[in-house]
Amino acid sequence: MTKRMYPFYFVSIALCFYVVFTVVPGLMGIYLSLTDWNSYAKEIHFVGLANFKTIFSSDENYLLGIKNTVIFTISTIMIKTVIGLLLAVLVNKGIKWKSLHRVILFLPAVIPMLVVGIIFKSIFEPQQGFMNEALRAIGLNAWTQHWLTDIQWAFKSIIAVDVWKGAGYIMVILLASLQAISNSYYEAAEIDGANAFMKFRFITVPLLMPALTVTTVLNLLYGLKVFDTVYVLTNGGPGYATEVVYTQVFSQFSLGSYGVGTALITVLFFIMTLLGYFAIKLMSREEQN
Amino acid sequence: MKNKWMRNSILNLVIGLISIIAIIPILLIVINAFKTSYEASSMNFNLPAELQFQNFSTVIEKGKLVHSFFNSFAYSSISSLFCILFSAMAAYVLARNKTRINRVVYLFILMGIALPMNYFTLIDVMQWTELINTRAGIIVLYMVTQIPFSVFILYGFIGGVPRELDEAGVIDGCGPKRLFFSVIFPMLQPAAVTVFILSFLNTWNEFLLPLYYLNSAQKWPMTLAVYNFFGQFQQSWNLVSADIILTILPVVILYLLGQRFIIAGMTSGSVKG
């Protein structure tokens, strides 16, 4: 009966779209990254690993872009997780206006990344932007900065914007898990004489692990593809200081040098296939439990 | 007792401060959208002398927002609807008939959550399918980007729909199509709403695909329109703010109305039970 009632063509529509528009371009990319493909010459020549040599050569800026992407991903995950966890624990405690806080804290997560970039472009404006004006207003003139054009600060500012947008998202996911933890664990621990820290360390954290795994994996996949914020806030500048893989991919696209661009995406394709493999193993293990 | 009161007030203060940091940038935009261009040249919390409602009509006209609004609306809603339909059909068969092959297919589709789009080779595919620079093309791409996660959510949900329903349907003489569309699909409503809202938000907020694949302003969605407007009117922050509000209003409303569903969708897979 199962064979007849659950026909495979039900799956095939979604599968076909997915294969044609995601998998096939990805696989084609592996081949075309080995060519000098570009938008202005008709013929395509095989060039071996030349594009990858360009990417991994120290005379170019691609390595910097990869390095920045990794730094961005790791630092935003760590900061957002710490803040998100703190917020979740706080909101879960006897806080006034709990649901109002939750609504506000999650709000940044639903606003388009691009729009967030534009808003912070105004806030970080050195002369009349809100950030520096607020610092001056409370007498911290020395703290004012050229947030987006100073090489010391530009990348940190981008990270800060991402934390502003994403911490609430982690909070919401962790909060849902916190609320699912039965109070009886804590009561039992209290009888055994556990203090607040021990309860957090030995009950809360282990029971939040599945949720923390999911937020980390999703943020990892998201962080490696970061584009909108960087594109609007600094467009890779000053110089190449804040270039990430996706801004470099877009520059290659605009320049028409598809070979190098495809090679860049292909590097990402391999990394993300690997990460994705571990991610789905984790996600499907959760669901079997 | 006094100690506890102290601790509670500190907790409330901390979370209050963080909430203020979260809302300040948004309030800043709201206030400045009602100022004159001169007043908004410094973006701060000084209230406008007079509320400039005409900023919104100026923006709608100069930014050609009516077009973009309907484009965005069409892109997001049509792609989300097809996404639900195809994802539900796939998830249903994959979840009900767990053969080895179906298991592999399911994990293969889930890989799509991770895989990056190759924007270069995708040009070729878009040309072969004659979808390049068309509205249909963007709808298809939006749908494709949302399918893997939607299959994941729906697959989990279908596991909780009792199999007895299927059996009853078969006994009543349903074929596979009728069984799915008139018995199972209506049962998926809560998950389908979640999938629709998440997919609508994601696609409304998306910026990269139209940036790569739509070159005529007529077809631009709101995100691209607001970016372009920002490029042209960088000096008039009052207008840029008004444009931003019009862009985020639909998603903020959808968020406030559908909070429950959004959280349900995002937490699926991270919370057991």
List the single residue in B107, B266, B273 with the smallest CB-CB distance to A173: B266
Q: Which of A2, A93, A210 sits opposite B270 (nearest CB)?
A: A210
**Residue B90 touches partner A, C-beta closer than 8 Å:** yes
Q: Which of residues 229-268 of B touch A (CB under 8 A)?
A: 230, 237, 240, 244, 247-248, 251-252, 254-256, 259, 262-263, 266-267
A81, B216 in Cβ contact below 8 A?
Answer: no
Q: Tokens at residue B8, please? A: 């509670």
Chain B residues in contact with A110 by the CB 8 A cut-off are: 201, 205, 251-252, 254-255, 262
Q: Is residue A111 part of a domain?
A: yes
Q: Which residues of A touch B116 (CB under 8 A)?
A: 26, 224-225, 265, 268-269, 272
Residue A235, domain extent: 62-242
Chain B residues in contact with A66 (beta carbon < 8 A): none
- Of B197, B215, B217, B180, the closest CA to residue B261 belongs to B197
Across the interface, do A269 and B266 touch by the CB < 8 Å criterion?
Answer: no
Cβ distance A172 to B266 less than 8 Å, yes or no, reads yes
State the pLDDT at residue B272: 40
**pLDDT at residue number B244:** 92
- Give the nearest partner residue to A173 out of B16, B113, B270, using CB atoms: B270
Q: Which residue of B has its CA nearest to A11?
A: B90
Per the structure, how many domains does chain A have?
1
pLDDT digits (tens, 9 = 90+) for B167-197: 888 888 888 888 889 888 998 988 899 899 9
For the domain spanning B63-232, the CATH number is: 1.10.3720.10
8 Å CB contact of B244 and A119: yes
pLDDT for A1 beyond 80: no
* A94 vs A139, more confident: A139
The answer to whether A130 contacts B44, with C-beta atoms less than 8 Å apart, is yes
Whether B1 shows a pLDDT value over 80: the answer reads: no
Chain A residues in contact with B237 (beta carbon < 8 A): 122
Amino acid identity, position B98: K
pLDDT tens for A228-282 read 899 999 988 788 889 999 999 998 888 888 888 899 999 999 998 998 888 777 7
Question: Is B272–A289 a contact, with Cβ atoms under 8 angstroms apart?
Answer: yes
Residue A207 falls inside a structural domain: yes
Q: Model confidence over A210-224: pLDDT tens digits? A: 888 888 888 998 899
Average pLDDT of the segment spanning A166-182: 88
Task: Please tell me the distance from the alpha carbon of residue B90 to that of residue B84, in angstroms, as a whole number.
Answer: 10
Note whether residue A89 is domain-resident. Answer: yes
Residue in chain B lying closest to A266 (CA): B118
Contact B129 A276 (CB under 8 A): no
> Is B84 a residue whose pLDDT tops 80?
yes
Which pLDDT does position B173 carry in this prediction?
85
Q: Do B248 and A112 touch (CB under 8 A)?
A: yes
Per-residue pLDDT at B217 exceeds 90: no
The residue with tokens 């007895």 is: B164
* Listed ranges A206-220, B72-86, B127-141; the one with the highest mean pLDDT: B72-86
Q: Which two tokens stand for residue A266?
A: 């292909």
Averaging pLDDT over each range in A214-218, A285-289, B98-102, which range is the top one? B98-102
Q: Does B26 lie at the interface with A, CB-CB under 8 angstroms?
A: yes
Complex ipTM over 0.85: yes
CATH for A120: 1.10.3720.10
Lowest mean pLDDT among A3-12, A259-268, B139-148: A3-12
Structure tokens at B174: 């349903």
> Using 50, 70 and 90 to split pLDDT, how confident is the model at B252?
very high
With bands split at pLDDT 50, 70 and 90, how would you rate the model's confidence at A289? very low
Q: Report pLDDT digits (tens) over A85-108.
A: 988 888 887 677 888 888 899 999
CB distance B52 to B258 below 8 Å: no
- For chain B, the average pLDDT equals 87
Kindly state whether A276 is in contact with chain B, defined as any CB-CB distance less than 8 angstroms: yes
Give chain A positions within 8 Å (CB) of B256: 103
| A268 touches B at CB < 8 Å | yes
The confidence score (pLDDT) of residue A38 equals 83
Nearby residues of A116 by Cβ (< 8 Å), 6 or more positions away: A108, A161, A164, A165, A228, A229, B25
pLDDT band at A84 (very low <50, low <70, confident <90, very high): very high
pLDDT band at B75 (very low <50, low <70, confident <90, very high): very high
Query: Would you say the C-alpha torsion A163, A168, A169, A172 has a positive or negative sign?
Result: positive
Q: Could you tell me the CA-to-CA distances from A249 to A43, A103, B145 in Å, in that order?
A: 22, 36, 19
Least confident of A49-63, B8-22, B109-123: A49-63
Is pLDDT above 50 for B271?
Answer: no
- Residue B148 Cα distances to A76, A197, A276, B23, B106, angstroms: 25, 39, 12, 32, 9
Beta bridge partners of A46: A35
B13/B144 Cα distance (integer angstroms): 44
Hey, CA dihedral for A25, A30, A31, A37, is it positive or negative? positive
Looking at beta carbons, which pairs linking B51-60 to residues 24 or more positions away fall under 8 Å?
B52/B238, B55/B238, B55/B239, B55/B241, B55/B242, B56/B242, B56/B245, B56/B246, B58/B239, B58/B242, B59/B229, B59/B239, B59/B242, B59/B243, B59/B246, B60/B246
Question: Per-residue confidence at B65, pLDDT binned at 50, 70, 90?
Answer: confident
Residues 6+ apart with CB under 8 A from B152: A283, B110, B113, B268, B269
B210: part of which helix (H) or strand (E)?
A: helix B208-213
Give the nearest partner residue to B144 out of A10, A17, A268, using CB atoms: A17
A176-180, B40-44, B75-79, B96-100: which is most confident: B75-79
| Helix (H) / strand (E) containing A283 | helix A258-288
In chain B, what are the domain boundaries?
63-232
Ramachandran bin of B47, using left for φ above 0, alpha for ψ from -120 to 50, beta for the remaining angles: beta
Closest chain A residue to the Cα of B203, Cα to Cα: A112
Residue to test with chain B: of A1, A4, A5, A36, most B Cβ within 10 A = A5
Residue A15's pLDDT band (boundaries 50, 70, 90)? very high
B273: confidence class by pLDDT, cuts 50, 70, 90: very low
